[in-house]
Amino acid sequence: MVGITSGPSSLDPRFGLDDVSGKVQALIYEPLVTIDDELRIAPWLAAEVQHPDPTTYVAVLRPGVMFHDGRELTAADVVHTFRSVLDPALASPKRGAYRRLASVDALDRDRVRFVLSEPQTNFLYELVPLPIIPDGAGPELASRPVGTGPYRFVRSVVDDHVELAAFAEYHDGAPRNPGLILKVVPDEVMRALEVRKGTMDLVVNDVSPDLFFQLAKDEGLQATTGPGVDYQYIGMNVRTPLLRDVRVRRALVHAIDRLAIVRHLRRGLATPANGMLPPISWAYEPDVDRFDFDPSRARALLDEAGFPDPDGPGPHVRFTLSLKVSNLEFSRLQAAVIQENLRDVGVALEVRAHEFATLFADVLAGNFQLYSLQWTAGALADPDILRRVFHTAQVPPVGFNRGHYSNPQVDALVDNAAASTDDGARRALYSQAQRLLAADVPYISLWHKTNFVVAQRDLSGLRLSPLADYGFLRHVARTDRYVRYPGADAPDRARRADRGLTRAGTFPPPS
């Protein structure tokens, strides 16, 4: 049994953009290509993808792949999948990603040709979020999904659980376990208690760092971590007069103790970030300007920018900024640390916590000075995200340049990278762009998430991917080599489970 935060909004992979839907769907369905541990494209249902000219891709299907209903995967299934998403009548929220897809046709039983209206270097990354469904499949997939994945659907009870069974004919080898129950437990303390009592086998990422810290000490459990991709940052509206000066932006970075946030609030389950791309990415550039915690340097930069502290360490401030965050507890705690850091260099920070929908609407509208959000794994796998976020022409609603940052040199670099088909050339262009972005500081980079799983001690095969998906679950199995609590009965285990669990923010920081 695996603990999840909510039920999937849809089991049809053409719908359901929420995190839980994507993770559950990926156990049932599969895409043509996948993303490896260096965030590069790797073949999956397609044994290879040929690229004969800038606007043409030909996917050659892996032979012998079976759907759960006993039919073999063919090009007709791939064509139906993409044509249905492109059909305006379906109103799939994934349609926008394929606006450059002019046509998709079967060349024969095993080959599919995609023709684009214009070159798109990251097209293969766009194939990952759309798993393949059977030819002719319609709206019934939402309640009776059929795919080629390692698990076949058994049943689903709304807001309670999803039950999956191992698919014995799975093309990459049958799962090592007979099946999964994905149990909906909205409250993280209850999820932690269920794991500690042994009534839930594991939870992936979905408890707070404080609860993880407590569970990791339990002798009946095991904790595994791995590098992640998710990226926490502070966005800045560079149209704000105070934030137009790069010296002010650099001063803010120097003023924030990111390492303290990682150590104490994240319990070490993160690494300080120096840019948007994670260190495991093939396009990551480590040689960039780093603005380490240095309050003295922050004060000097603010002085240089023409904002002297009117009374030194006294109560008067240089200026005031506002920071919008979500009303989640961690976001508010992190904002309080940042507020104290900035106060130490003479900057007042007004923290405004909002429901996510309100916060996101303000961000999209540019109604902010500073805001804090998190980019998740799916977006960060493709380095083209640098163009979508920082290009002058990518302001909403076209792209994600919410702070209206503009640098013509960055624009040229990310445009050229998007147009190139040479990986070496693309990496060099992205490296230059990352150096310029680091110097300009359009974002304050905070941290990259460390993924984790807490599981019963008698489970083997726990290996997290950087994307924190559930794909590893097919390798998980029970072993009789470990007895959880020798000599202890289940009621004693339950008593121990009910003792000592507290909500986030109440535990002392690790030494």
- Find the range with the poorest average confidence among 330-344, 463-477, 481-495: 481-495
For residue 483, CA distances in Å to 97, 442, 459 come to 49, 53, 11
Round the average pLDDT of the chain to a whole number and report it: 90
Q: What is the pLDDT of residues 21-34, one digit of tens each?
A: 999 999 999 999 99
* Residue 488 pLDDT class (50, 70, 90 cuts): very low
Do 427 and 461 lie in a common domain?
no
Report the CATH number that the domain containing residue 373 is assigned in CATH. Answer: 3.10.105.10
Rounded Cα gap, residues 459 and 473, in angstroms: 11
How does pLDDT run across 274-288, given as a tens digit for each residue? 999 999 999 999 999
**Same-domain pairing of 191 and 327:** no
Q: Is pLDDT of 399 > 60?
A: yes
Output the pLDDT for position 496.
38
pLDDT of residue 172: 95
In a domain, 37, yes or no: yes
What pLDDT was estimated at residue 120?
A: 84
Rounded Cα–Cα distance for residues 35 and 26 (Å): 13
Q: How many domains does the chain have?
A: 3
The answer on 385 and 278 residing in a single domain is yes
Q: What are the pLDDT digits (tens) for 154-195?
A: 999 999 999 999 999 999 999 999 999 999 999 999 999 999
What percent of the chain shows pLDDT beyond 90?
A: 81
Query: So what's the pLDDT on residue 28?
Result: 97
Tell whether 8 is covered by a domain.
no
Each residue's pLDDT tens digit, 55-110: 999 999 999 999 999 999 999 999 999 999 999 999 898 888 898 999 999 999 99
| Range with the poorest average pLDDT among 140-149, 241-250, 376-385, 493-502 | 493-502
Q: How many CB atoms are located within 10 Å of the residue 155 CB?
A: 12
- 119, 142, 165: which is the final residue of a domain? 142
Are residue 422 and residue 345 in the same domain, yes or no? yes
Asked whether residue 415 falls in the same domain as residue 348, the answer is yes
Q: Which of 12-16, 344-348, 489-493 has the lowest mean pLDDT?
A: 489-493
| Residue 497 confidence (pLDDT) | 39
Within a domain: 19: no
Q: Which domain holds residue 309?
A: 228-449
Is 508 within a domain?
A: no
pTM value > 0.75: yes
Spatial separation of the C-alpha atoms in residues 128 and 135, rounded to whole Å: 19
Mean pLDDT score, 348-367: 93
Domain identity same for 261 and 121: no
Residue 389 to residues 103, 308, 326, 368, 405, Cα–Cα distance (Å)? 28, 32, 20, 16, 9
CA-based nearest residue to 502, from 142, 196, 59, 178: 196
Where do the DSSP E strands lie in 28-110?
A: 33-35, 41-43, 46-53, 56-61, 101-108
Pairwise pLDDT comparison (423 vs 504), residue with the higher score: 423
- Report the pLDDT value the prediction gives residue 480, as an integer from 0 to 100: 66
46 plus 188 within the same structural domain: no
Same domain, 320 and 417: yes
Residues 217, 298 within the same domain? no
Query: For residue 510, is it within any domain?
Result: no
**Residue 505 counted as domain residue:** no
Above 50 in pLDDT, residue 492?
A: no
Q: What is the DSSP string of 184-231?
A: E---HHHHHHHHHHTSS-EEES-S-HHHHHHHTT-TTEEEEEEEEEEE
Q: Which of 142, 175, 201 is the last residue of a domain?
A: 142
What is residue 35's predicted lDDT score, i.e. its pLDDT? 92
Maximum pairwise Cα distance, the chain: 77
105 and 48 within one domain: yes
Give the 3-state DSSP-derived string for 423-466, with helices as H, strands as E and coil as C: HHHHHHHHHHHHHHHHHHCCEEEEEEEEEEEEEECCEECCCCCC
Whole-Å CA distances, 498 to 4, 192, 503: 20, 10, 13
The stretch 268-278 carries a mean pLDDT of 95
Percent of the chain with pLDDT over 70: 94
